Amino acid sequence: MRKVWDIPGGVHPPENKAQSVTRPIASAGIPDVLIYPLSQHIGAAAVPLVEKGDLVLKGQMIAEAMGFVSAPVHAATSGRVTAIEERVIAHPSGMHAPCIVIEPDGENRWIEHSGLEDYTSATPAELLSIIHDAGVAGMGGAGFPSAVKLSTRPDTPIHTLIINGTECEPYITSDDMLMRERADEIVRGTEIIAHILGVSSIIIGVEDNKPEGIASLRSAAEHSAGIEVISFPTKYPSGGEKQLIQILTGQEVPSGGLPSALGIVCQNLGTTVAVHHAVDRGEPLISRIITVTGDSCREPANYEVLLGTPASHLLELSGQQPELCERLIMGGPMMGFALESAEVPVVKTTNCLLAPTRAELPPAAPQQACIRCGICAEACPASLLPQQLFWYATAKEYEKLEAHNLFDCIECGACSFVCPSNIPLVQYYRASKADIRRHHLDHERSERSRARFESRQQRIEQEEAEKQARRQARREAAQARAKEAGTKQPSRSDAAPDAADVIRAAIERSQAKKQAAAAQSQAQADMGIEPDSAQDAIDRAMAKRAAAAAAPKLSPVEQLQNNLASVQSRISKTGEKLEQARTTGEDTVSILESSVAKLEAKRDQILAEIEELGDS
């Protein structure tokens, strides 16, 4: 017989388990609607594989795992996808999250599936991929993807497998009923997990308040070597992973460490059944056992429930009277959370729906001042100092909280349970943990922005320095040039002309230029060459027009005669130019010839007009 250790602290709340073990596990049937949150586990949310309107079969994967620490989601019955939308999910925040909604068609048709004939011939890697694809996630509470938990690393060899059948929380009996009715399935699943891990020592730990379950398990495990079923005294919270390891092995999981550091892997009882179904039958995780209990239920019992079933369907089955029930709790009275709506679907981690009456589970009494009685410290299973943590939590002294190992708190609620001042201690710790995580995240972020800010400052300074350097270089170059010029004309700086000199020189220069121009035009006139610049031509044309305007109105005949004279002069001029061009052999000859012809035609026309006028 294996020695059983004790854990520090712990409490003995009323068990209230007897109500729900009187009836065998019943099927909850197929509800009107199934709702599948994409995130039912710890890790990345799954990604939908179906679209609205798709037909799905029982066991079909409707959302695939996203990354390593994630799990797929499967349809629990055949039907049609009616929506992929935000719905209220099982979360203490009561927030909405993306869900796949399926309307069952009632045919319950399975997708083609088959299990392994002999799991011992499969390698651990193959078995792990089967478990991963079946969407198995820890069914005890946290919902950590089982395939990830079972993937051992070579540097941390595992020697012991612990199956957690403690179920220490009041009211919950789903694991107890599983042991009573399906012990052989538990043993089979345990063997598969042991094969994957390659461990020699397998312990199934059960509290001694479940004698039927223990007996049933012992008889099922009789023929399988290496499986020990250990019972130990009932105490809350023996079912915590770290607490159970301490009870069964006497070893403490180091603060911030994992059980694998001790060579131990811990799995929930329900998970072993899911593994057995996945490997031996090829069935994914689509249903689980859920305890529906509380005094407002006429028939508290355990049901085999399709995942995705709304809580309201289960409550109806158990004959719950909503008028008696003030708040609906998912999970147990110690660690569960209140649901905002009964339409919340059950997920892989749901083990209990508690619908207590007001008398049974009265609302928390008002919080009073801490009287430093220290009972909470005696109750704490992690040997923390709850009253001190409470003090620091109210003062928001995060460093002190961390120094007092707040993160080793398992949030079991034993301290709140014993507190004579009704202080909701766990709520303070939860809020503080979130604040500290947030604080760390903010700090990380601020470090990053500081680095970015500093590198930006540096860059700007560098740019500025470069600009300065370039400016300096240009200035120096200019000075060097000036110096060079200075050496070539040494008198220049000496004979720095004053402003008046400069102006005078400029005036002289312009006068000289004017004189030169006048002389040139004079010479041109002397040589008989008209300056044929465009300006001159314009001037002449304007003068001519002005003269024409100034001249008294001529008769048409006179006008024509004038025209004739000008045309004739132009002919003679052009003729001269033509002669000149011909003698020099310029290529304007043809142009000049054509213009002469045109002018002669014009002259003839004018002559004809004059004759006409003369006739009339």
Partner 1 sequence: MYELIAQYPFMAAILALVGLGMAFGSLLGFAAIRFRTEGDPIADQINAILPQTQCGQCGFPGCRPYAEAIADGEAINKCPPGGEATINDLATLLDVEPMPLDEEHGEEKPRAVAYIREDECIGCTKCIQACPVDAILGAAKLMHTVIASECTGCDLCVEPCPVDCIDMITEETTLQTWKWPLPARVPRELVIATDAEQAA
The rounded distance, in Å, linking the Cα atoms of 268 and 163 is: 6
368 contacts partner 1 (rule: CB under 8 A)? yes
Q: Quick one: CA dihedral 366, 369, 374, 377, positive or negative?
A: positive
Cβ distance to partner 1 smaller for residue 171 or 390:
390
Asked if 26 and 304 touch (Cβ cutoff 8 Å), the reply is yes
Cβ distance to partner 1 smaller for residue 89 or 412:
89
Cβ distance to partner 1 smaller for residue 442 or 576:
442
Amino acid at 223: H
The rounded distance, in Å, linking the Cα atoms of 301 and 289 is: 10
Alpha helices of 352-498 — where are they, by DSSP H? Answer: 375-379, 386-395, 398-403, 414-418, 425-488, 490-494
Q: Pick from 14, 53, 256, 366 the residue near partner 1 by CB under 8 A.
A: 366
341 contacts partner 1 (rule: CB under 8 A)? no
Q: Pick from 450, 475, 492, 582 the residue near partner 1 by CB under 8 A.
A: 450
| Least Å from the CB of residue 95 to partner 1 | 6
Amino acid at 150: L
Q: Which stretch binds partner 1 (CB under 8 A): 91-99, 159-167, 380-388, 513-521?
A: 91-99
| Least Å from the CB of residue 361 to partner 1 | 18
Residue 78 burial (CB count, 10 A): 21
Here's the x/- map for partner 1, 452-471, by CB under 8 A: it reads as: xx-xx---------------
| Least Å from the CB of residue 93 to partner 1 | 4
Q: Which stretch binds partner 1 (CB under 8 A): 52-60, 200-208, 294-302, 388-396?
A: 388-396
Cβ distance to partner 1 smaller for residue 263 or 424:
424
Size of residue set near partner 1 by CB under 8 A: 37
Q: Interface residues for partner 1 in 133-192 (CB under 8 A)?
A: none
Element (H, E) at 521: helix 499-526
b or e along 404-441 (b: 16 or more beta carbons within 10 Å of the residue's beta carbon)?
bebeebbbbbbbbbbbebebbbbebbeebbeebeeeee
363 contacts partner 1 (rule: CB under 8 A)? no
Residue 26 burial (CB count, 10 A): 14
Asked if 39 and 70 touch (Cβ cutoff 8 Å), the reply is no
User: 98 forms bridges with which residues in the sheet?
Assistant: 86
Asked if 138 and 349 touch (Cβ cutoff 8 Å), the reply is yes
446 contacts partner 1 (rule: CB under 8 A)? yes
Here's the x/- map for partner 1, 216-255, by CB under 8 A: it reads as: ----------------------------------------
434 contacts partner 1 (rule: CB under 8 A)? yes
Of the candidates 509, 606, 510, 523, the one whose C-alpha atom is nearest the C-alpha of residue 567 is 606
| Least Å from the CB of residue 39 to partner 1 | 7
Q: Which stretch binds partner 1 (CB under 8 A): 224-232, 345-353, 389-397, 592-600?
A: 389-397
Q: Which two tokens stand for residue 315?
A: 């409550």
362 contacts partner 1 (rule: CB under 8 A)? no
Q: Which stretch binds partner 1 (CB under 8 A): 1-9, 127-135, 139-147, 438-446?
A: 438-446
| Least Å from the CB of residue 54 to partner 1 | 25
Q: Pick from 228, 378, 397, 402 the residue near partner 1 by CB under 8 A.
A: 397
User: 357 forms bridges with which residues in the sheet?
Assistant: 325
Of the candidates 586, 7, 8, 21, the one whose C-alpha atom is nearest the C-alpha of residue 352 is 21
Contacts of 396 (CB under 8 A, 6+ apart): 432, 435
Q: Which stretch binds partner 1 (CB under 8 A): 54-62, 93-101, 143-151, 204-212?
A: 93-101
367 contacts partner 1 (rule: CB under 8 A)? yes
Q: Which stretch binds partner 1 (CB under 8 A): 311-319, 354-362, 394-402, 544-552?
A: 394-402
Cβ distance to partner 1 smaller for residue 270 or 308:
308
Contacts of 412 (CB under 8 A, 6+ apart): 236, 237, 240, 334, 335, 381, 426
Start-to-end CA distance of the chain, whole Å, equals: 155
Q: Which stretch binds partner 1 (CB under 8 A): 170-178, 210-218, 252-260, 396-404?
A: 396-404
Element (H, E) at 536: helix 534-550
440 contacts partner 1 (rule: CB under 8 A)? no
Cβ distance to partner 1 smaller for residue 462 or 572:
462
Q: Pick from 200, 449, 515, 521 the residue near partner 1 by CB under 8 A.
A: 449
Q: Which stretch binds partner 1 (CB under 8 A): 69-77, 192-200, 446-454, 570-578?
A: 446-454
Q: Pick from 424, 561, 589, 600 the residue near partner 1 by CB under 8 A.
A: 424
Q: Which stretch binds partner 1 (CB under 8 A): 195-203, 303-311, 421-429, 461-469?
A: 421-429
| Least Å from the CB of residue 90 to partner 1 | 11
Q: Which stretch binds partner 1 (CB under 8 A): 110-118, 339-347, 390-398, 569-577?
A: 390-398
User: Nearest 5 degrees, angle CA 594-CA 595-CA 599?
Assistant: 120
For residue 201, with 0-12 CB atoms within 10 Å meaning exposed, 13-18 middle and 19 or more buried, which class applies?
middle
For residue 189, with 0-12 CB atoms within 10 Å meaning exposed, 13-18 middle and 19 or more buried, which class applies?
buried
The rounded distance, in Å, linking the Cα atoms of 314 and 174 is: 14
Cβ distance to partner 1 smaller for residue 22 or 367:
367
Q: Pick from 2, 12, 159, 438 the residue near partner 1 by CB under 8 A.
A: 438
The rounded distance, in Å, linking the Cα atoms of 532 and 616 is: 42
327 contacts partner 1 (rule: CB under 8 A)? no
Render 211-277 in DSSP notation, one character per residue: HHHHHHHHHHHTTSTTEEEEEE---BTTTSHHHHHHHHHSPPPPTT--GGGGTEEEEEHHHHHHHHI
| Least Å from the CB of residue 75 to partner 1 | 23
Element (H, E) at 291: strand 287-293
Q: Pick from 12, 32, 68, 95 the residue near partner 1 by CB under 8 A.
A: 95
Here's the x/- map for partner 1, 9-48, by CB under 8 A: it reads as: ------------------------------x---------
399 contacts partner 1 (rule: CB under 8 A)? yes
| Least Å from the CB of residue 311 to partner 1 | 19
The rounded distance, in Å, linking the Cα atoms of 311 and 326 is: 15
The binding site for partner 1 (CB under 8 A) comprises 39, 89, 91-93, 95, 97, 366-368, 393-394, 396-399, 424, 427-428, 430-432, 434-435, 438-439, 442, 445-450, 452-453, 455-456
